[in-house]
Amino acid sequence: MKARLAASAALALGIAIGGSGCAMITYQATTEKYDASDGISLDLGDVQVRNALVVSEDGQEGNLVASFTNTGEKRATVEIEVVESGETATVDVGAGETVSLGAGDEEPLLIEDLGAEVGGLAAMYFQQGSAEGREVQVPVLDGRLPEYEDLVP
């Protein structure tokens, strides 16, 4: 009787390990964060920048499209610098607020001297307060796609 019980337990354990073994050792792509849209995202202290991209017709003048969410309890200012030209801009975000730029009825943040190719990337540096700043490669798109045709400066 004991042998039968031990064999049943061993068989159940073997089925459980065999059925879940792949999930224990196989890489799970669903655990990775990624940007599901055309833009890039980054975190700067209490401020989260989401779906940042530039829409431009010629790669020189562009419209920065992004949303900035401040999860902190104090007003935050994000400084943005186009690495190629040194042009700078700032975005103020109230505590617990989200500011969207460049899309719909939102005010565009125009970049006059982007210095990038359409379809390429523009190096931009984002800094918020004392948080460590980050240089990222922001996609530069044009108005060929219907969702971006109204965003071209």
Q: What is the pLDDT of residues 21-71, one digit of tens each?
A: 566 667 777 777 767 678 999 999 999 999 999 999 998 999 999 999 999
- What is the pLDDT, as a whole number, of residue 130? 86
Checking DSSP bridges between strand 47-56 and strand 134-141, what pairing results, if any?
parallel
Quick one: 24 and 51 in the same domain? no
How far apart, in whole angstroms, are the C-alpha atoms of residue 88 and residue 92?
A: 14
DSSP 115-151: ---TTSEEEEEEEETTSPPEEEEEEEE-TTSTTTGGG
| Upper half-sphere CA count for residue 80 (Cβ side, 13 Å) | 26
Average pLDDT, stretch 135-140?
Answer: 96
List pLDDT tens digits, range 104-132: 777 788 998 888 999 999 999 999 988 88
- The CATH number covering residue 102 comes to 2.60.40
Is the predicted pLDDT of residue 12 greater than 80, yes or no?
no
pTM: 0.76
Q: What DSSP element (H or E) covers 10?
A: helix 2-25
> Do 87 and 130 have their domain in common?
yes
**What is the count of structural domains for the chain?**
2
Same domain, 60 and 134: yes
Same domain, 92 and 143: yes
Residues 11 and 51 in one domain: no
